[in-house]
């Protein structure tokens, strides 16, 4: 089995849910972590727990991914403390529940800025080191909403369609420079995870399913380019 193509990862939305499950899986493989979130207390708690459990360096990074100045400054701080990032997981996202005719402009901006703009800003920050080293991986957590339209989720669908389109374009720019770009498109994911297996919802994915998909992707040889990976529960 190929080793992971990662030594140092930045995970947005890394303090809970899908992001935390991915962080745990990577830490178990010895990957150093930068966990980004706006939830400072939880972020620091989970960073300390992962660092102690897996004996890897874990840096908590309080960050609003939609703020370009913050992303630039916090990325520079993380790089100075740990070194260049060779794995970026664009996981930050937020949903919305409105009919189009009732959707406030501010809600459109909030969802688009978190899901789509945040992915762009973090990618732009991490990409120069990856290009210079001709090595790196960018994994975007999109959704089945990046492939299908759902009533009362117009802005979420638009944002995730944007993430998928952005990833496809980025892949064309960097795939011959040692950088891999992948996108996971999960269906419904049970967050927070159930307290016991009997509480699992039928037809829903679990956060560890996405973590395993990330590990699978990173274990592929450098010559392998995976397109977006669709995932649904049964």
What residues act catalytically? Answer: 156
Nearest to 233 by CA among 195, 192, 188: 188
Q: How far apart are CA 170 and CA 150, in angstroms?
A: 26
- CB contact at 8 A, 63 and 88: no
**DSSP 8-class letter at 117:** I
Nearest to 116 by CA among 153, 166, 70, 186: 166
Q: How far apart are CA 167 and CA 72, in angstroms?
A: 20
Q: How far apart are CA 206 and CA 68, in angstroms?
A: 32
- CB atoms under 10 Å from CB of 4, counted, come to 19
Q: How far apart are CA 64 and CA 101, in angstroms?
A: 28
């Amino acid at each position: 089995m190929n080793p992971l193509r990662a030594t140092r990862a930045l995970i947005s939305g890394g303090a809970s849910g899908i992001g935390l499950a991915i962080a745990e899986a990577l830490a178990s493989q010895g990957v150093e972590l930068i966990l980004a979130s706006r939830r400072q207390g939880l972020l620091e708690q989970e960073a300390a727990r992962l660092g102690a459990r897996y004996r890897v360096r874990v840096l908590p990074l309080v960050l609003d991914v939609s703020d370009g100045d913050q992303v630039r400054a916090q990325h520079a701080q993380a790089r100075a403390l740990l070194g260049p990032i060779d794995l970026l997981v664009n996981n930050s996202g937020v949903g919305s529940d409105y009919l189009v005719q009732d959707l406030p402009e501010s809600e459109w901006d909030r969802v688009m800025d978190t899901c789509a703009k945040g992915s762009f800003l973090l990618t732009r920050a991490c990409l120069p080191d990856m290009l210079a080293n001709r090595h790196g991986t960018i994994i975007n957590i999109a959704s089945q909403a990046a492939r299908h339209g759902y009533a009362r989720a117009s802005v979420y669908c638009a944002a995730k369609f944007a993430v998928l389109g952005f990833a496809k374009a980025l892949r064309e720019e960097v795939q011959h420079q040692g950088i891999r770009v992948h996108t996971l498109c999960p269906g419904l994911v049970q967050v927070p995870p159930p307290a016991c297996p009997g509480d699992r919802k039928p037809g829903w994915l679990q956060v560890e399913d996405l973590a395993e998909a990330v590990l699978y992707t990173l274990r592929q040889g450098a010559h392998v380019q995976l397109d977006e990976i669709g995932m649904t529960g049964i």
